[in-house]
Structure 1
Amino acid sequence: MCTAHHAVEMEDLHRLRDLLDGGVDIHQEQNGYTLLHHAIDVEIDGHEQSGEPLHVDVTAYLLARGADPRRRSGGGTGISAEHLALTRGHSLATCLIEEWVRTHHAGEDGV
């Protein structure tokens, strides 16, 4: 597992920040998942496996750093992180992504 994806897997925001500050591509892919896809998956899995409340820390951080939730994985052939969050039931990520889309696309299509 590459270092940035490992930081996402461990939910290590400090390490992830350092890697992104050092030039790691925010849309880096591994096994068909961007960092944002991976964060959504990790947050859901952690919730399901532990029974702890769902959280959105890594997803929020990656969105703040410029990850595009509408970008499709697999070089454009896969699903978007937006779709992954919606279909897997990550309501917190879905809410954040909807707001991201609203603010980043304000003025487009008459919005």
Structure 2
Amino acid sequence: MDTSNPSAFVNAELLPNFIGKKVRAVVQVHQSDGGVAIGKSTDGSQLTVKGLPQVPAMNYIEVIGIAESNQLINAEIWTDFGNTFDTDSYNKLCQLANGEFRSLFL
């Protein structure tokens, strides 16, 4: 496993702390035009992801990419999780990975 360039677990609230760095987020797609997707982060806020193919509306995707701004991720890798996903658990993971248990994550 390559640990030279880890990605931080983030939601929309945490994204501004990682501008210019590699991040990992889950977004529920609300609109996609084959290149740019707009959706809802696990904390309920809007995020935009560029660099994606057409993604079905209401599907959850995990994206790994570079945080370009407070609400924009440029995707390098993405995974379609389908239309069911436990957003509360993922959001809590983001909070733990950037808080009390930061040392346990890369």
Q: With CA pairs under 8 Å and 6+ residues apart, which has the higher RCO, 1 or 2? A: 2
Give the number of the structure whose alpha-carbon radius of gyration is greater.
1
Range into which the TM-score falls when normalised by the shorter chain: under 0.3
Q: TM-score, normalised by structure 1?
A: 0.26
TM-score w.r.t. structure 2 length?
Answer: 0.26
Which structure: greater strand fraction?
2
